[in-house]
């Protein structure tokens, strides 16, 4: 059983913020039809191989897999009027429309919300863009590194003595979660009232929401916070410490005197617990650089996992700064089946991440690989819209389903 | 009064700090009725974390708490007391969603595990948010927000793209970003399960691993190892050119992917002679000579402010943007055009500007119905009007430390 059984989404979006939102909903059983076109391939189809940097066949593209699992894939060249007419037919049999063109493009294509609600009065439509559909900067270029800088997160991330930090994937996918939530809220409203609606989502605002407490500090106190690395306003020690091996690190955070004493014991330095430089939270915070040096002397002798197990055993929060190899081999993540293997017709076996939640009655799941370009033209245009095989072939040949 | 997207949805929250409260705040902001339970005398520790108004610690003046608890009702309840448990069961009976973030085993230890709660409310969607989920060897591990961010994989990769310095530690993003993100992930799962509850009348238990929620923000680089035989790191996040560049009053971000964007940049810079050299003729050569190129770009950028570069650059089609600080975010004309910041009045802080939400609904607009609750502010409303306790009973429960 699937939580979102019976929900059909027609997905005109690209890159991550839109496609990953609909993938999240597909994990819970929504049927997602991803619209693509050979005239302008998704950027995740055209990115080169992440390691060799060699160009890929678009059907083998690496990052496309991450945001398009479970989906049906069709080709539709929206610069053709007949394609636009078919898009409307698809909307007619769908519950949700998602798009991520620059604001105004859907209107130019003849696929604005006002048009689509004529076709399907209770449609839920979400537009996701860098700065939202309105306002003086709505037409600005807005890749992830740009909108996360504008929204203030880049400035708050980095070494205290260094530059701000560029963000990419995670700020797009963060917005994908927000977009999925908005769609679910609108679907619930539609179930209760029979009414659809239009949702205008801004990625810049999505990022600003996750620095809400820092924005409150400015609003309440006029304070402009800056970069603090791994440090906390009250806790110390509170940092990442180097471990045995190359570029290996463990995060350790101590909130109470009890945890501090346990850490000192575990390091074989019980006298530090009483040391006047470190005996309470206030002086520990004051002397945290010295504290970091002492802890680092100890952590350097162990792997991140050894530090985690020794410290967690005595109630101290220590977790490695996990890399991808750690995670794939990790006993905890393996017990939770955080990774799974799927079969892809061109790539073969492929490891992907499982959905991040476990639902007891309606398990979130991955049922199929990300679609090949136009893989489901027949199923969607034939099965759903009733076009004959000959019509489909003709529309493909004429560049409409292209 | 316009309708709200989730009006009629009833939520009970028993959470602390950021992730759980943010999850239920998202639902409250969309119109759900959220009753937040705090332990008498202990309360949500977010009340003891800054930023405080005028930097004076006070449980009703924490900006962190105020932001995370807008639009909620607040009650106090002691679950260690049998009368408290009975009241909790009465509350559970009438809700759709319970959001909780206690360590695994806490609820079954009290005799209030999902199996027991479903006996009294089969429609209950119990959403559990914990660092490592309800199962697995790390489920009981201690994990503060710093540890959580590094558990999720993005810490190891931060800072990259020009920020990487060998021998310096990996970093978390922002302050509580990992907790906000995993709270958002939990809200998606809770609302998905609620959709099914509305279709079938059946609730369920939703187990949200915060670690896996953070991993889900960057599946591509995390799965390099099994698929590509490589491990992503801060060092593998190499920059072509551009990226973070110093300017007159801070830093800007320059993200050029297309030739026409490079041409637009040259136009912005007034077609400098140096740019005509062979070593900058195409994307590949610019990338190969990125260190030299970035120095030249920075030299030009340093003569201009963030705002100048942003607006005159974007007008020409240059993908450039300022690294804004919080003052500049609050002053943004884009955000004020969209009314992203809203003034909310609270008895202890007067009017303050809060961030609202990143989505605008055409039929059910975002509204601040009420500020974050004072500790136990809605005890009379919930226990009296809702559950039918008399004023005397409520007074006795308060004296006994139950509420």
Domain count, chain B: 2
Identify which of B138, B333, B362 has the shortest CB distance to residue A198. Answer: B362
Q: Are residues B370 and B387 in the same domain?
A: yes
- Residue B208 has φ and ψ, to the nearest 5°, of -105, 115
Residue A234 sits at the chain B interface (C-beta within 8 Å): yes
Q: Find, among B282, B323, B280, the residue nearest to B301 by Cα.
A: B323
Mean pLDDT of B86-91: 98
Q: Which residue of A has its CA nearest to B175?
A: A211
Instruction: Select from B331, B353, B383 the last residue of a domain.
Output: B331
Residue B1 has pLDDT above 80, yes or no: no
Question: What pLDDT, on the 0 to 100 scale, is given for residue B237?
Answer: 95
Looking at the fold, whether B303 and B380 belong to one and the same domain comes out as no
Same domain, B301 and B372: no
CA dihedral A385, A388, A394, A396 (to 10 degrees): 50
**Which two three-digit tokens encode residue B249?**
């009053």
Is A172 annotated as catalytic? Answer: yes
Quote the pLDDT of residue B236.
95
Mind giving me the DSSP string for B166-214? TTSPP--STTTHHHHHHHHHHHHHHHHHHHHHHHHS--EEEEEEHHHHH
CATH number at residue B262: 3.30.1540.10
Distance CA A8, CA B70 (A): 33
Tell me, yes or no, whether B212 and B249 share the same domain. no
Domain ranges of chain A: 8-210+356-397, 238-321
Q: Do B319 and A146 touch (CB under 8 A)?
A: yes
Task: Tell me the average pLDDT across B365-381.
Answer: 95
Map residue B32 onto helix, strand or coil: coil
Q: How many CA atoms lie within 13 A of B378 on its CB side?
A: 19
Domain end: B306, B331, B356, which one? B331
B364 touches chain A (CB under 8 A): yes
Q: What are B318-335's pLDDT values in tens digits?
A: 999 999 999 999 999 999
Q: Render pLDDT for B127-141 as a digit per residue (tens, 0 to 9).
A: 999 999 999 999 999
Closest Cβ–Cβ partner in B163, B231, B233 for A158: B163
Catalytic residue among A122, A172, A213, A275, which? A172
| pLDDT tens digits for range A24-67 | 999 999 999 999 999 999 999 999 889 888 888 999 999 999 99
Res A43: pLDDT: 93
Cβ-in-10-Å burial (0-12, 13-18, 19+) of A3 comes to buried
Q: What is the mean pLDDT of residues B363-379?
A: 95
Residue B236 domain-assigned? Answer: no
For residues B110-124, average pLDDT: 97
Confirm whether the ipTM is greater than 0.90: yes
CATH number of the domain located at residue range(s) A238-321 in this protein: 3.30.1540.10
Chain B residue whose CA is closest to A209: B355
pLDDT-based confidence at B2, cuts 50/70/90? low
The answer to whether residues B182 and B314 belong to one domain is: no
CB A97 within 8 A of CB A123: yes
Residue B317: domain span: 243-331
B229 occurs within a structural domain: no
pLDDT tens for B174-225 read 999 999 999 999 999 999 999 999 999 999 999 999 999 999 999 999 999 9
Q: What is the mean pLDDT of chain B?
A: 96
Q: By three-state DSSP, how is residue B358 classified? A: coil
Using alpha carbons only, what angle is made at residue B383 by residues B380 and B387, rounded to the nearest 5 degrees? 140
- Burial of B287-301, coded b for 16+ CB within 10 Å and e otherwise, reads eebbeebbebbeebb
Superfamily of domain A8-210+356-397: Crotonobetainyl-coa:carnitine coa-transferase; domain 1 (3.40.50.10540)
pTM for the full model? Answer: 0.98
Residues B17 and B140 in one domain: yes
Instruction: Mark the ranges of chain A whose per-residue pLDDT is less than 50.
Output: none
pLDDT score for B221: 97
Residue-wise pLDDT for B19-32, tens only, equals: 999 999 999 999 99
pLDDT, residue A33, reads 98
Chain A residues in contact with B352 by the CB 8 A cut-off are: 216, 219-220
């Amino acid at each position: 059983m699937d939580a979102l059984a019976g929900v059909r989404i027609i997905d005109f979006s690209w890159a991550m913020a839109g496609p990953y939102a609909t993938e999240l909903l597909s994990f819970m059983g929504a049927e997602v039809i991803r619209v693509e076109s050979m005239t302008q391939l998704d950027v995740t189809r055209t990115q080169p191989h992440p390691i060799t940097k060699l160009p890929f066949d678009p059907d083998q593209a690496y990052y496309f897999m991450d945001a398009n699992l479970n989906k049906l894939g069709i080709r539709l060249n929206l610069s053709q009027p007949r394609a636009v007419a078919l898009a409307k037919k698809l909307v007619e049999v769908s519950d949700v429309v998602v798009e991520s063109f620059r604001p105004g493009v859907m209107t130019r294509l003849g696929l604005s919300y006002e048009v689509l609600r004529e076709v399907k009065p209770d449609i839920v439509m979400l537009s996701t863009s860098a700065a939202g559909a309105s306002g003086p900067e709505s037409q600005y270029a807005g890749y992830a590194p740009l909108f996360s800088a504008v929204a203030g997160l880049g400035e708050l991330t980095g070494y205290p003595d260094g530059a701000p930090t560029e963000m990419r994937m995670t700020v797009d996918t963060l917005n994908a979660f927000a977009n999925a939530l908005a769609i679910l809220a609108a679907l619930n409203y539609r179930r209760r009232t029979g009414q659809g609606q239009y949702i205008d989502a801004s990625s810049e605002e999505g990022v600003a929401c996750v620095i809400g407490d820092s924005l409150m500090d400015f609003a309440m106190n006029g304070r402009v916070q800056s970069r603090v690395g791994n440090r906390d306003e009250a806790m110390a020690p509170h940092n990442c410490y180097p471990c045995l091996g190359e570029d290996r690190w463990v995060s350790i955070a101590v909130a109470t005197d009890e945890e501090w004493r346990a850490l000192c014991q575990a390091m074989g330095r019980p006298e530090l617990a009483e040391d006047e430089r470190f005996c309470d939270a206030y002086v520990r915070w004051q002397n945290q650089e010295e504290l970091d040096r002492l802890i680092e002397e100890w952590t350097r002798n162990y792997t991140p996992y050894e530090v985690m197990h020794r410290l967690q055993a005595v109630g101290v929060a220590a977790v490695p700064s996990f890399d991808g190899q750690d995670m794939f081999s990790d006993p905890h993540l393996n017990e939770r089946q955080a990774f799974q293997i799927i079969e892809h017709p061109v790539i073969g076996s492929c490891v992907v991440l499982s959905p991040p939640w476990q639902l007891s009655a309606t398990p979130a799941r991955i049922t199929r690989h990300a679609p090949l370009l136009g893989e489901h033209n027949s199923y969607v245009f034939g099965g759903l819209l009733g076009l004959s095989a000959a019509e489909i072939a003709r529309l493909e040949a004429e560049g409409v389903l292209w | 009064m316009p309708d709200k997207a989730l009006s009629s949805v009833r939520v009970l929250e028993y959470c602390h700090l950021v992730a759980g409260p943010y999850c239920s705040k998202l639902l409250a902001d969309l119109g759900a009725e959220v009753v937040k339970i705090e332990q008498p005398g202990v309360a949500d520790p977010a009340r003891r974390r800054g930023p405080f108004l005028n930097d004076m610690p006070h449980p009703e003046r924490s900006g962190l708490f105020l932001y995370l608890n807008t639009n909620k009702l607040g009650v106090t309840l002691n679950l260690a007391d049998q009368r408290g448990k009975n009241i909790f069961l009465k509350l559970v009976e009438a809700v759709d969603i319970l959001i909780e973030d206690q360590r695994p085993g806490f609820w079954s230890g009290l005799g209030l595990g999902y199996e027991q709660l479903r006996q009294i409310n089969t429609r209950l969607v119990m959403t559990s948010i914990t660092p490592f989920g309800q199962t697995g060897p790390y489920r009981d591990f201690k994990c503060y927000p710093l540890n959580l961010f590094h558990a999720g994989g993005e810490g190891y990769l931060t800072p990259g793209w020009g920020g990487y310095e060998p021998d310096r530690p990996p970093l978390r993003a922002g302050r509580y970003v990992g907790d906000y993100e995993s709270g958002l992930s939990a809200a998606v799962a809770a609302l998905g399960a609620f959709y099914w509850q509305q279709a079938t009348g059946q609730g369920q238990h939703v187990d949200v691993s915060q670690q896996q929620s953070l991993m889900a923000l960057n599946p591509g680089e995390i799965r390099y190892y099994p698929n590509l035989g490589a491990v992503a790191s801060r060092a593998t996040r190499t920059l072509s050119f551009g990226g973070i560049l110093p300017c007159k009053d801070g830093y800007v971000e320059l993200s050029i992917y297309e030739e026409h964007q490079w041409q637009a940049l040259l136009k912005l810079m007034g077609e400098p002679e140096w740019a005509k050299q062979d070593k900058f003729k195409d994307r590949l050569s610019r990338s190969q000579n990125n260190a030299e190129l970035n120095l030249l770009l920075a030299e030009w950028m340093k003569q201009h402010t963030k705002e100048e570069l942003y607006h005159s650059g974007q007008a020409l089609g240059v993908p450039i943007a300022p690294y804004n600080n919080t003052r500049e975010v609050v002053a943004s004309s884009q955000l004020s055009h969209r009314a992203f910041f809203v003034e909310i009045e609270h008895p202890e802080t007067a009017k303050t500007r809060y961030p609202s939400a990143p989505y605008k609904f055409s039929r059910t607009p975002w509204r601040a119905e009420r500020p974050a609750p004072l500790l136990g502010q809605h005890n009379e409303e919930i226990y009296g009007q809702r559950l039918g306790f008399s004023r005397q009973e409520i007074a006795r429960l308060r004296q006994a430390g139950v509420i």
